[in-house]
Amino acid sequence: MKPILPLAILLATFFASQASAGSLANGSWQPSGCGSVPEAPTVDGGNIDAYNKSIAAINTWQQKSRDYFECLIKEANTDNGIIADHANRAQAKYRETVEKIGAEAEAAKKKLDKE
């Protein structure tokens, strides 16, 4: 049992140090460290040079979009983990409290039954 406690403390410290990755306001979640969503370019078919430039802009946009959405997923997963960990700890604390109250009630009942 002793090795589990240091692991639990390590995990709690890890999650607490990460705080949160994104922000939730009015039912809308946004990543906080990914910048803004890259704006999609348009294809310019006016002439060959304009077309080539627009294709280059599309390639750049695709890479920036990939980076943005990878960051978004990473932050969402971090926040999901923090939320799940918090909910699990709160539920465990509730269960412990219910068990403690139940044991106290049972002990009091036994004592009163003897009287």
Q: Single out the residue of 91, 111, 109, 113 nearest to residue 101, CA to CA.
A: 109
Q: Which of 11-15, 18-22, 65-69 is predicted least confidently?
A: 11-15
In total, the chain counts a number of residues equal to 115
List pLDDT tens digits, range 78-109.
Answer: 999 999 999 999 999 999 999 999 999 999 99
Q: Other C-beta atoms within 10 Å of 61: how many?
A: 14
* 19: pLDDT strictly greater than 80: no
Q: How would you classify residue 35: left for phi > 0, otherwise alpha for psi between -120 and 50, otherwise beta?
A: left
List pLDDT tens digits, range 21-54.
Answer: 889 889 999 999 999 999 999 999 999 999 999 9
Is the full-model pTM beyond 0.75? no
Q: Single out the residue of 31, 37, 33 nearest to residue 79, CA to CA.
A: 31
